[in-house]
Structure 1
Amino acid sequence: MDIVWNDFGSHQLSGVAEALDAAGIGTSAAEGPGATAADAAARASVEVDAALVASGLGLAPAQVPAMLADRRIATLCERGTGEDAGRYRFTFYLGNRRFRLLTDASGRPLPG
């Protein structure tokens, strides 16, 4: 399953913007639709195992891709900087459930 870094469309889903605000994560429109080519180039694509996401959210692995595609599962990906460069922290939101996953640049899970 391919996850695009910072799924700004999912930030519009019920409860996601509030959760991001509470975590101190900005969701400015300048980062979303209408962003420049340079902004788009800064986005990354990382392959994440759907079975991990399913386990974390209490779903069957086969459900995850469709639920991501139709935005029932919202995503946020944060790219590490400094000593965390090359790491990603994915957060998956489904209703009132949240699952966080740390990975390296190739999507391999890291200890949290």
Structure 2
Amino acid sequence: MAIEWNDHESHGLPGVSEALDAAGVETGAVDALQVTLLPEPPPVEVDARLVAEGLGLDPAQVPAMVADRRIATLCERGVGEDAGLFRFTFYYRGQRFRLVTDADGEPVEG
């Protein structure tokens, strides 16, 4: 799906111009900006034991720690030659653990 950016009136709203400038979006010389929206992938479940091992934690505690955000998470979806892969990063008390999985949550060499 492509979205055309023609709503130049919204550029006058507070903060919009600054946000567009910070993102490097040209607002004056460009007639339309196309944005491609990717379909939402199905959820990927990662084995808590892998996360616990990577961060040195008890596997039984990991789900609750993720739920209450004591363990912060970032998930990136692969595109192009990495399509179908997901890179998860888990952060806990200054530690970082990265894990690349397929769509079934199975670890792959990254």
Distance 1:104 1:89 in 2: 9
- 2:44 match: secondary structure: strand
The percent identity for this pair of structures is 69
Gaps in structure 2 of 5+ consecutive residues:
1-22, 24-36
- Higher helix residue share: 1
CA distance in 2, matches of 1:44, 1:76: 16
**Structure 1 residue aligned with 2:68:** 70
Q: Distance in 1 between matches of 2:42 and 2:73?
A: 14
Name the residue aligned to 1:107. Answer: 105
Q: Distance in 2 between matches of 1:75 and 1:89?
A: 10
Computing the radius of gyration from Cα coordinates, the structure with the larger value is 2
2:53 maps to 55
Cα separation, partners in 2 of 1:84 and 1:54, compared to 1, 3 Å:
same
How many corresponding residue pairs? 75
Distance 2:61 2:74 in 1: 19
**Runs (4+) of structure 1 moved beyond 6 Å?**
none
Unpaired segments ≥5 residues, structure 1 = 1-25, 27-38
| TM-score, normalised with respect to structure 1 | 0.62
